[in-house]
Structure 1
Amino acid sequence: MLIPRSVSSLPLPKASLTALHKAGFETVSDLENITLEQLSAELRVPPSACAEILSAASTTAHKAPTSTQPASTLLAIAKKSFSLSAPADLLLGGGLKLGYITEISGPPGCPKERMAVCAVRSAVQNGDNVLFVDTQSMVSPTTLMKSLKGPNSFMPVSSKISLTLADEPRAPQLTSLVVLNSLSFLFQPTSKHTLSNASRNSILERLKHNLSKICASKPVAFVITTNLATKLLDADGSPANFETGKKAVMVPQLGITYLPPGRTYRIMAIRDSPNTGSV
């Protein structure tokens, strides 16, 4: 399933975007079935400003994606894909596609890293170059080399690599697959440093911009693995805290709007067990 587009991407004044976020509107699809009067009442802004918001949302929803690549390249990209696993490939309509991002999230113990390694093996067996960046040392170079079982074009990356998310990922020109493993680990607070919400959102927004630019101009596929976080909700589904929450759900730790809309697929991997499900 394609990831929803964030309201932050709409060409609107900062005041309008702030009002939307404060009222709980996160994606463009949240504005699809709301009237001008309802939006004005929820945002507490004049109808003229709401008309601008709804117009921008409608234009964005129906805007066809553009491409900066020649037709021959687009044809080659459309035919090429890498394998995650049989079930995931079926879900994605044939596997990982060049020019797209696939996020795999799940709780500890689920096969996120195993699926990423399978994608590496598929790309290498196809003769493609791979850049594998592991932010948490969850997959060692030795493990990757063993999984390849033969000659490969894998480019080893130090487990201590410092990845600057505000910049475009540095990869060889002919790299066809980039894996950013445990990306959410970089945003976890430590004893020495904690990112402010403003800094975190700024980094994620710049990451989204650069990934979108790369996917639109280069034949490369991205796999990003992240952890899940617990989100507390009231009985009506609205956000809550530990004192007021009536139920809890697991959601991707980095949220749903940090990756480029129209270019992203999201897979949530959960082990099947007697404890799987909701209570």
Structure 2
Amino acid sequence: MQSNLYKKIQSKVKKWSKGFAEKERSYMYEESYRIIEMFLAGSKDKKDYITLGTTCNVLSSWYCADFLERYLNNKNDYCYSLKQCMLWGTIDPLLYAAGKQGDIQPIWFVDVCLSACNLLILQETEKAHKLLQYSSPEKIDFNVEPPESVCQFINKMFSTFYNDKEIPYEYPTPLNDIYSNLLHNLTDETKKDINASVNQACEFHLSRTKMYQEFDREDKMLLPSEILAPLVLRKRMGVDVKNLEHPLIKDLFPVMEELIELDTDPVFLDVIKYI
């Protein structure tokens, strides 16, 4: 039986069938990056932030449409199929972010980072790196310390702009230490660590989704990297993935199984670096 999330994604893909022509793809990327580069070199006033927010949303939408259609339809040679240049819309979340904090920075930055994390997991490493280079603290001053990882940086953004002290769950523990123990020694204790990481990530995702309007749709945060990475680890180790106890996994798993060939994931080690 297909999950509601899987059905939603399938429905979106069908709606994209009358998308942009192949020849328009390069223009879409080039124009988006041109606007971003102008922002980096400009005065960065309020109007610039709104333009940048719109541009990054468009850019990440193209990336998302790219890999969703490719993986859901199992196509090696695929076309972009967005009915419009916005996948989840821009105006409403931008106005929401501006109204809450008086600034546009959080919404585009988090959107881009989440898209980049998903791109890494979906083997689109080059695209993810290019996307992330425009949203690093070295490029834009968010008045935070340099991040240890992309995921931790996202958490810093939530803390800085949304005052996440009220969230009852901490951001999931990085998996680097867990992974370093897996290459030589798969123990029952390690399995428990991964199970705990999955549950922690699911609870964090759900609590954040309930609190913020721009993340209140299941298909917005399609494959949260902090949830998917430990599932990939389990699959690689030959440990069961589908029957984890957290209810969120039961809804995510059919989508994950469609989007990623876990047993042959060539960029797996690169993914772990960004968790």
Same structural fold, with TM-score higher than 0.5 when normalized by the shorter chain: no
More helix by share: 2
TM-score by length of 2: 0.31
More strand by share: 1
User: Greater relative contact order (Cα 8 A, min sep 6): structure 1 or 2?
Assistant: 1
Which has more radius of gyration? 1
